[in-house]
């Protein structure tokens, strides 16, 4: 099942979701679907992992994802289906949020659900995030399994106290006597031309909170981050994923592209850029990049990353969040603390959003987030000191320098030694 995931892209569930903050696998995101809302909280971030498929991907990349893809589904429809399955599976599950009912969802994720489940379970709220998020937490404490939709996670800032203080910490503070099975979900990440207050990635915010997780059938609070720009993107989906009992494992990363020279770690929308960058790196530099879709931000699948780094000896972290104290910062620290550090041939490279509030102007906005080019540059920089990646011209330069150094050592010191010459070359050039 897991094996299929990468190829299929996120399945319906995840497929769509961009990232869950808390992160779990993409599927959990929906959490709904896969993870029953039980609980308290893990955050999951979905990466758009699987997601896959961006339209921009080349056909070859796409093939990787979809093996025998019987069907295609947009992220939006996958989320919708996952919600429906969870609503059918458990009477205690209900969806509340702004415009989720009569309006069919600001992004149409909840389209048709009001007609199917009625106003008792698909609930339109006033535009009062602290009020309805707090209410959803209370309903979870009293035995229900709410799915609390934020129109976007930018507005969840109004209610972040309830996500963190009221939901994530309660189980611990109560010594295990109280549970808070709730899913907070909605679009996250940078969007197009909407300015600083509506365009930001909250993965690292929620990812830093113990007690948060991702996924609906999980008994913990889950934050499920969906990427606003990915809702309409389609991904191939298998019959297995379409089955109502299909669940993605939370906390399990997915290797969506095998490679041997460098490991790219990302989640959500930037995964698409990673895939494209990997093709360019292969074509232009002969670099074979391995790409890991985190799917879940917390729990974070450190084992998969470490194993990959031990194989490739290089790590590039890609995220659209701010660089300071972001996911890449944590990944760097985790790698330093793991046995993978001894396998690194170069320092970890971070490709992130710029450390600026998101600007409105089109040209400035384009400079604020990772692109295929920045990922390619970051990866080339990472591998710049590694001989196996050097092109013919560079090799010629090295051989020339080596020869010069050999001759110099003969002239000056009188005892030509290839070993000595190599040491000098190494000293001066590296």
Partner 1 sequence: MLVNPRLSMLSRSISLLSRSSQLRARLFSSSAPAASETVNYTLPEGSFQTYECDPPSHDIKVNKEETINMYKQMVLMRRLETTADGLYKSKHIRGFCHLCTGQEAVAVGMEAAITPDDHVITAYRCHGFTLVRGQTPHAILAELMGELAFSLTSLCKGGSMHMFSKNFYGGNGIVGAQVPVGAGIAFAQQYLNTKQATYILYGDGAANQGQVFEAYNISKLWNLPAIYVCENNHYGMGTSASRSSADTNYFARGQYIPGLRVNGMDILAVRQACSWAKDWVLSDKGPLVLEMVTYRYGGHSMSDPGTSYRTREEIQHMRSTNDPITGLKQRLLDLDFLTESETKQIDKDARATIDEAVKLAHNDPFPDETELYTYIFVEGSEPPFVRGREKEEVGHVVHKQ
Q: What residue ranges bind partner 1 (CB under 8 A)? A: 38-42, 94, 120, 125-126, 128, 130-144, 146, 161-162, 165-166, 170-179, 210-211, 213, 218-220, 251, 299, 337
Residue 33 CA, chain-centre distance (Å), reads: 19
Residue 168: half-sphere exposure toward Cβ, Cα within 13 Å: 25
Q: 3 vs 175, which CB is nearer to partner 1?
A: 175
Supply the minimum distance, in Å, between the C-beta of residue 201 and partner 1: 23
Give 52 or 160: the residue with its C-beta nearer to partner 1. 160
> In angstroms, what is the minimal distance from the CB of 338 to partner 1?
8
Q: How far is the CB of 383 from partner 1 (least distance, A)?
A: 27
At 113, give phi and psi (nearest 5°): -70, -35
Q: CA–CA separation, 48 vs 32, rounded Å?
A: 17
Residue with Cβ nearer partner 1 (161 or 391): 161
Strand partners, 18: none
129 is an active site residue: yes
Question: Among the options 18, 84, 85, 129, which is catalytic?
Answer: 129
Helices (H), 31-128: 59-65, 75-89, 113-117
Alpha-carbon Rg for the chain in angstroms:
24
- 159: CB partners within 8 A, 6+ apart: 129, 130, 132, 133, 134, 150
> Is 162 considered catalytic here?
no
Q: Which is nearer to partner 1, 178 or 367 (CB)?
A: 178
CB of 169 to partner 1, least distance (A): 9
Q: Residue 429 Cβ, how far from partner 1 at the closest point, in Å?
A: 35
Report the candidate in 262, 281, 253 with the shortest Cα–Cα distance to residue 343.
262
Active-site entry in 71, 99, 198, 420: 198
Please tell me the distance from the alpha carbon of residue 310 to that of residue 36, in angstroms, as a whole number: 35
235 Rama sector, left if φ>0, alpha if ψ -120 to 50, beta otherwise: beta
Q: Which residue reads 């070993």 in tokens?
A: 419
Please state the closest distance from residue 306 (CB atom) to partner 1, in A.
13
- Give the nearer residue to partner 1 in terms of CB position, either 113 or 229: 113
Helices (H), 90-162: 113-117, 129-141, 160-161
For partner 1, the closer CB: 174 or 356: 174
Q: Where in the sequence numbering do the catalytic residues fall?
A: 129, 198
């Amino acid at each position: 099942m897991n094996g299929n995931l990468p190829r299929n892209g996120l399945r319906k569930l995840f497929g769509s979701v961009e990232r869950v903050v808390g992160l779990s696998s993409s599927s959990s995101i929906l959490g709904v679907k896969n993870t029953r809302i039980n609980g308290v909280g893990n955050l999951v971030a979905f990466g758009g992992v699987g997601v896959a498929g961006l339209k921009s991907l080349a056909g070859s990349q796409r093939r990787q994802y979809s093996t025998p893809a019987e069907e295609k589904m947009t992220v939006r429809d996958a989320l919708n289906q996952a919600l429906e399955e969870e609503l059918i599976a458990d009477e205690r599950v209900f969806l509340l949020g702004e415009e989720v009912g009569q309006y069919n969802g600001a992004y149409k994720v909840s389209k048709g659900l009001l007609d199917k489940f009625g106003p008792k379970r698909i609930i339109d709220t006033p535009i009062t995030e602290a009020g309805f998020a707090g209410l959803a937490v209370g309903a979870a404490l009293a035995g229900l399994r709410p799915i609390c939709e934020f129109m976007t996670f930018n507005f969840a800032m109004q209610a972040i106290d309830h996500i963190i203080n009221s939901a994530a910490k309660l189980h611990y503070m109560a010594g295990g006597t109280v549970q808070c099975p709730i899913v907070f979900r909605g679009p996250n990440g940078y969007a197009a031309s909407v300015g600083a207050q509506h365009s930001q990635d909250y993965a690292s915010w929620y990812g830093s909170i113990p007690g948060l997780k991702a996924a609906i059938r999980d008994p913990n609070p889950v934050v499920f981050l969906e990427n606003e720009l990915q809702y309409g993107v389609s991904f191939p989906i298998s019959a297995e994923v379409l089955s109502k009992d299909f669940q993605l494992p939370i906390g399990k990363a997915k290797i969506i592209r095998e490679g041997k020279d460098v490991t790219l770690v990302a989640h959500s929308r930037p995964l698409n850029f990673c895939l494209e960058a990997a093709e360019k790196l292969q074509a232009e530099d002969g670099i074979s990049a391995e790409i890991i879709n985190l799917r879940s931000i917390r729990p974070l699948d450190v084992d998969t990353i470490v194993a990959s780094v031990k194989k490739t000896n290089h790590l590039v972290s890609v995220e659209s969040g701010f660089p300071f104290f972001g996911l890449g910062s944590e990944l760097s620290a985790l790698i330093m603390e793991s046995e993978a550090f001894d396998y690194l041939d170069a320092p970890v490279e971070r490709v992130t959003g710029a450390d600026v509030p998101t600007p409105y102007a089109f040209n400035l906005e384009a400079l604020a987030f990772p692109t295929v080019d920045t990922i390619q540059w970051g990866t080339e920089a990472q591998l710049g000191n590694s001989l196996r990646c050097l092109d013919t011209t560079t090799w010629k330069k090295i051989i020339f320098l080596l020869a010069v150094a050999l001759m110099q050592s003969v002239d000056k010191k009188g005892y030509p030694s290839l070993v000595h010459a190599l040491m000098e070359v190494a000293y001066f050039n590296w």
